[in-house]
Every structure is written in structure tokens, then in C-alpha cells.
């Protein structure tokens, strides 16, 4: 894990002190709200419906147990005893008082955390594959590169006031678990025919008002050019991106209007000017960052130690189900990747109490080298668990409510805070998630449905990533009444696709039943029990699902 040097540490401490001064000046009237607003936003502090909201960065989703404990302490001391993990691997406090925020930043700085660039028209938190470093299908660990990009983009003077916000995602695996196709820049580690490792750049993807699957503008960028090529992309965007219309200011609009080929040419032209300058990475640069992400001291375990197969056959059905759905193959024999489901009937998706955070830190230290990863599907991951300890871990996770065996299933709902909290939302999303979680609580029924991702957003800004849910729900406001658009067929994985609206918007009373009808239709339409929902939808299109939802409603 990356460890701050004295420059990093000083930077976050000075930032906390600087914001403390700004808060004092706002409270005593020396700063107006108009003057203060951009300053608070640069420190991740938003004004929401009922309170301030503070967004804290978690670079590529990676946390130490010490950081998790500090989040628990902050939640208790300064908030209402819980935090919310977001779809960009960040964490949010929903109730901080303004005068406490500088102290929160100081407490975070002590454990090498901050809220820098978690808001505003700048480069935001760099996200990555939650299985980075341990995935069996990985070409190279993407985290050293994500960290290089984090350092390059932090306080980059040229990119502090971009036309709009800007989001990077990086993956090193063959399977995309980082949703790179729907980011402003998605970077995939690739290998050419000679075995040389580089990066494919996907630029101009995104969700929100205008969802776009990013085109690939460069199939192979040498690894030494990672920063200079990123700089070239940002320079072209900064120069040509629209600043006259907020809704057309994201890079996806520029790439669409310019054309991907012409945009790529402009980037190559810019890159030619800077490729051999100071941004070129040396082998020593890369090696220095790689050292921070060296594997933990794994024990050498023979294949005979493998317990996953046995666990799946265990007479303890609850344990076997959990292993089957929440545990993933690790690249090191004898170890496993364990997903902690934050999706239960008890709390909104992504919410974790301070007590649960402390418990997670504890199990991370005892079972997984003290590391925890936040996923963009609002779950947590312990990346390095000995298979022989899975049963003991399962029992402990069950006690804190994180062992629901539903990862990747319908009740593993991705959901933004919606109109219960958010100043931008048009409709509530959490009650819809909770209703659907209750409807599909029966595990046998849930497992029968196979992999089925449900994403809910409370407005067109799409923080719940509804465009890429196999089933997506978008909250809208119709004359003061919350309504929901149902869309089907989205995916953020390989062969990414955008969901299509099924029909007229539904009321809060109708949406849960509509999803049930979609699911029932799928069970009747699938070619075999092994055909996932997405394949059935892609094979048949929306018509039979539309009939199932709307004809039934009319009847």
C-alpha cells in the first residue's frame, strides 16, 4: 500500500489548516457563501437537503485497517455513527457540522486520508479493479499506475478548472471490473504480441444525462507514456471542451462532436510535443511505485490445502452458499478473495455503522493482512484470506451482517442516496432498494435468478449507475410526484451496453411489482437455467418484458 512521504503528509496537513482558516472566515462573515462555496467544494464539502455532506477520497478503493478504524471514530465523534460508501469507491459523511470539518480533515490527515478533489471540475478519485493485485486474470497490478496518476493529478495547476469533472478508472485484468467504458478515461493494461505491457485508452465514456460507451482512442500506449498521454488527453479536453453549457461540458460530448478518430489525432499531436519531456516515466519511477504494492507475505500452500471445493460441498448450507456466491478465486494457491456484502434489509446500500467499521478493521487484520477494498458496487473486499480460514471468517462476518450471500445477485443493489439526502435528486432511491430487497429476500428464489445487477439512481446524474444495470431504475419528478423509469439491458462489464427505457414511467407503488414482472418474464423466457438475464434480454429484446410489465399493469 502506498505510504505518504513527508511531502504528501505536509500537503494534507497544510490543506486541513488552510480549510480551517477558510471555515473561520466564513463563520465570522469575512467570506460570503459565494466566495466560500468553491473553497468548500474543493474540500469535498457539499450542501445537501438536510445537512452538509463530506466526501472523502479512497484512492483506488484501498484502505488500511487503521484508516477504517479512523473512519469509525470520525463517524462517531462528528457524525451520526455511520458512513456511506459510494459508487466511485469513496466514502461520505452525511451530517458533519461546518465547524467540525477542519478537525475531521486533521484526523484524516493523521492516517493519510483527505478530501482533496472529491468535488469540483477537476480530476477526481482514480478508481480501479477491487481485485487489483490478486485477480487470477490480471496482466499487471494496476495500483502502481493508479497511484502515479493520483500524484500527477493532485493539485495539477493546469487541470484545476476543467470544463467539468473528470473521472479515471484503471484496470489490469482481462475482465473489466472497474467499469472503464463509462469513465471519462478508462485505462486497461494490455500486452502486445511481443509480451510488452502497455495501456489501451478508452476516452469519452460516461453516464449522466448523456450516457456514452467510451471508444478506444489508443490501443497500445507504452507504459512509460502513461502520464504524458494522460496529460495530452486532458490538454485537448481543457482547450476544446465546452464551457458555455454545463450539460455539454464533459469530454464525452467533445469526443462525440469531434469524432473519436479526430480526437485521437489531436491527442497524438499533443502527445508528440510532450512525450519525451519530464512526464516520461522511467523504469526506476515505475519500480518505485511497484514496491509499495508488493504482495504480502503469503505462505506457500500446496494445492492440497485448497478448501473452496470442500466448502462448496459442505453440509453447512449457509457457509456453502456464502462461499459459492461471495468468495472468488485468488491468484495464489490456498488463498481466496472474499466479498463483504453491504446489502441487507437492515441498512441502505453502502451504509456501514461505526461498530461495523471497527469489526471490519478487526477481521481485516486477523484474516487479510490488514487491507480492505471498497468496490464500485458499494461492497467491501478482503483480498487475501487463507481458504482454510474461510469458515471462521464467515462466522464473524455473519455476526456483523456482512455475510449475505448475494454478491452479483438482484439484492446486491447499487443505489445512490437519492432524494432522502441529495440536493440534485428528483426521487428517493433508497426506499425502492429496500422494497426490492424485501421482495427478493428468499435466497432460493434469488439464486434461481443467477447474476442480475440492479442499479437505482434518484436523478439523471446517474450516481447509482442505472444506465449500466442489467435492470436500471431512474427516479424522476412528474408534477411533484416521484416516478421511476425502468430500463433494461445495461452492463458496465466487457461488451458494455446502455440500458433502454422500457416504457412509461411508473409510480413508487408500481415500480417494485414491475421489477418482479420483469424477473418472472425472464424465468419464463430464458433458453436454459444457465442463461443469465442479460443474455436473455439481448437475445429477445425489450418486447416480451414490456408486455409483461405494462400489459399486466393495464389489466
Partner 1 sequence: MTHWIVTANRLSDGSVAYLGADRGWTSRLEEARRWPEREDADASLAWARHQEHVICDPYVFEVTLEDGRPVPRSARERIRAEGPRPTLERLGLAGLTSHETARALTG
Instruction: Please report, as ranges, the residues that interact with partner 1 according to CB under 8 A.
Output: 26-27, 29, 32-33, 47-52, 80, 82, 94-95, 97-99, 347-348, 351, 419-421, 425-428, 430-431, 477, 480-482
Distance between CA atoms of 537 and 526, rounded to whole angstroms? Answer: 9
Report in angstroms how near the CB of residue 120 gets to partner 1 at its nearest: 17
405 or 418: CB nearest partner 1? 418
Report in angstroms how near the CB of residue 81 gets to partner 1 at its nearest: 9
CA dihedral 66, 71, 74, 76 (to 10 degrees): -110
Closest CA to 183 of 96, 99, 87: 87
Helix (H, G, I), strand (E, B) or coil at 534: helix
Distance between CA atoms of 364 and 377, rounded to whole angstroms? Answer: 19
214 or 352: CB nearest partner 1? 352
Distance between CA atoms of 146 and 143, rounded to whole angstroms? Answer: 5
Report in angstroms how near the CB of residue 409 gets to partner 1 at its nearest: 22
325 or 428: CB nearest partner 1? 428
User: Residue 402 phi/psi, 5° resolution?
Assistant: -110, 25
Cβ-based neighbours of 543, under 8 Å, separated by 6 or more = none
Report in angstroms how near the CB of residue 341 gets to partner 1 at its nearest: 18
Report in angstroms how near the CB of residue 17 gets to partner 1 at its nearest: 21
Report in angstroms how near the CB of residue 47 gets to partner 1 at its nearest: 6
Cβ-based neighbours of 370, under 8 Å, separated by 6 or more = 64, 65, 66, 364
Distance between CA atoms of 88 and 164, rounded to whole angstroms? Answer: 17
| 131 and 62 Cβ atoms separated by less than 8 Å | no
Question: Cβ of 262: how many Cβ atoms within 10 Å?
Answer: 11
Residue owning grid cell 469526443: 255
450 or 458: CB nearest partner 1? 458
Report in angstroms how near the CB of residue 386 gets to partner 1 at its nearest: 35
414 or 430: CB nearest partner 1? 430
326 or 434: CB nearest partner 1? 434
29 or 157: CB nearest partner 1? 29
| 509 and 463 Cβ atoms separated by less than 8 Å | no
Helix (H, G, I), strand (E, B) or coil at 99: helix
Amino acid at each position: 500500500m502506498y505510504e505518504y512521504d513527508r511531502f504528501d503528509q505536509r500537503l494534507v496537513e497544510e490543506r486541513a489548516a488552510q480549510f480551517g482558516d477558510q471555515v473561520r472566515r466564513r463563520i465570522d462573515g469575512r467570506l460570503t457563501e459565494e466566495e466560500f462555496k468553491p473553497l468548500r467544494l474543493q474540500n469535498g464539502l457539499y450542501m445537501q437537503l438536510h445537512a452538509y455532506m463530506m466526501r472523502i477520497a479512497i484512492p483506488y478503493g484501498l484502505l488500511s485497517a487503521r484508516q477504517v478504524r479512523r473512519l469509525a471514530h470520525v463517524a462517531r465523534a462528528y457524525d451520526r455513527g455511520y458512513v456511506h460508501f459510494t459508487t466511485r469507491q469513496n466514502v461520505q459523511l452525511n451530517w458533519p457540522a461546518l465547524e467540525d470539518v477542519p478537525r475531521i480533515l486533521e484526523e484524516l490527515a493523521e492516517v493519510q486520508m483527505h478530501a482533496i478533489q472529491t468535488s469540483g471540475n477537476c480530476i477526481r478519485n482514480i478508481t480501479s479493479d477491487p481485485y487489483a493485485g490478486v485477480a487470477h486474470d490480471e496482466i499487471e497490478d494496476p495500483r502502481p499506475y493508479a497511484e502515479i496518476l493520483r500524484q500527477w493529478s493532485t493539485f495539477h495547476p493546469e487541470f484545476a478548472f476543467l470544463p467539468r469533472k473528470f473521472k479515471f478508472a484503471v484496470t489490469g485484468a482481462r475482465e473489466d471490473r472497474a467499469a472503464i467504458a463509462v469513465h471519462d478515461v478508462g485505462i486497461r493494461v494490455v500486452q502486445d504480441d511481443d509480451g510488452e505491457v502497455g495501456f489501451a485508452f478508452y476516452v469519452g465514456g460516461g453516464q449522466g444525462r448523456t450516457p456514452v460507451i467510451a471508444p478506444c482512442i489508443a490501443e497500445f500506449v507504452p507504459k512509460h507514456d502513461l502520464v504524458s498521454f494522460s496529460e495530452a488527453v486532458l490538454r485537448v479536453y481543457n482547450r476544446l471542451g465546452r464551457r458555455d453549457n454545463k450539460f455539454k461540458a464533459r469530454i464525452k460530448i467533445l469526443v462525440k462532436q469531434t469524432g473519436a478518430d479526430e480526437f485521437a489525432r489531436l491527442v497524438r499531436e499533443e502527445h508528440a510535443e510532450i512525450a519525451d519531456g519530464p512526464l516520461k516515466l522511467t523504469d526506476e519511477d515505475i519500480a518505485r511505485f511497484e514496491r509499495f504494492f508488493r504482495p504480502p507475505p503469503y505462505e506457500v500452500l500446496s494445492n492440497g490445502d485448497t478448501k473452496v471445493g470442500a466448502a462448496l460441498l459442505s453440509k453447512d448450507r449457509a457457509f456453502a452458499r456464502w462461499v459459492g456466491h461471495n468468495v472468488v478465486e485468488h491468484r495464489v494457491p490456498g488463498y481466496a478473495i472474499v466479498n463483504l456484502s453491504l446489502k441487507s434489509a437492515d441498512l441502505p446500500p453502502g451504509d456501514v455503522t461505526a461498530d461495523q467499521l471497527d469489526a471490519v478493521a478487526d477481521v481485516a487484520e486477523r484474516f487479510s493482512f490488514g487491507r480492505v477494498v471498497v468496490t464500485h458496487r458499494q461492497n467491501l473486499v478482503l483480498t487475501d484470506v487463507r481458504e482454510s480460514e474461510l469458515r471462521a471468517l464467515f462466522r464473524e462476518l455473519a455476526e456483523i451482517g456482512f455475510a449475505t450471500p448475494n454478491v452479483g445477485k438482484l439484492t446486491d443493489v447499487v443505489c445512490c442516496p437519492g432524494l432522502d439526502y441529495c440536493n440534485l435528486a428528483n426521487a428517493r432511491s433508497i426506499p425502492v432498494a429496500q422494497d426490492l430487497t424485501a421482495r427478493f429476500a428468499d435466497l432460493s428464489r434469488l439464486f434461481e435468478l443467477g447474476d442480475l445487477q440492479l442499479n437505482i439512481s434518484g436523478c439523471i446524474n446517474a450516481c447509482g449507475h442505472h444506465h449500466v444495470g442489467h435492470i436500471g431504475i431512474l427516479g424522476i419528478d412528474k408534477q411533484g410526484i416521484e416516478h421511476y423509469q425502468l430500463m433494461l439491458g445495461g452492463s458496465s462489464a466487457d461488451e458494455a451496453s446502455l440500458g433502454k427505457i422500457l416504457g412509461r414511467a411508473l409510480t413508487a407503488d408500481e415500480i417494485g411489482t414491475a421489477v418482479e414482472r420483469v424477473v418472472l418474464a425472464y424465468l419464463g423466457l430464458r433458453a436454459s437455467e444457465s442463461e443469465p438475464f442479460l443474455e436473455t434480454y439481448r437475445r429477445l429484446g425489450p418486447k416480451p418484458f414490456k408486455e409483461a410489465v405494462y400489459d399486466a399493469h393495464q389489466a
